[in-house]
Amino acid sequence: MDSAILWRVAVVQVAAVAVLSLLLALVFSHGFFEDWGWLVGPLAWMACAWLTARIVGLPEAPVLIRAALAGIPSLLFVLIGAHWLGAAVAIALFAALCARLPRPLTGPAP
């Protein structure tokens, strides 16, 4: 497990989720999330994971698969009313899964 990747992924994902959550909260009412949160939440999570992959330099498809896997346990927290605790667990699991990917190449491709 690459601890540098783990922390980079965790920090970028936390920032992406926080910024997108704030933007969505400013644009939409609470009722919108009660009706459409089941769709908007996972789409926002995957969008943040895609952005994380781009920023950290990891391959997008494997990162998105890991994001989907990490999001599954967070569903349990949503069902018991602990949405943000579920997000924290998902971010930790997502970072740990991504830390098992090969380190991204640095510099220009040959």
Average pLDDT over residues 9-19: 95
Q: What is the pLDDT of residues 28-87, one digit of tens each?
A: 888 888 888 778 888 999 999 999 999 998 999 999 999 999 999 988 888 888 878 888
Average pLDDT over residues 3-19: 92
- Pair 67, 49: CB distance under 8 Å: yes
Token output for 89: 């667990």
d(CA 3, CA 21): 27
Q: How far is CA 58 from the centre of its chain?
A: 13
Residue spans of the domains in the chain: they are 3-98
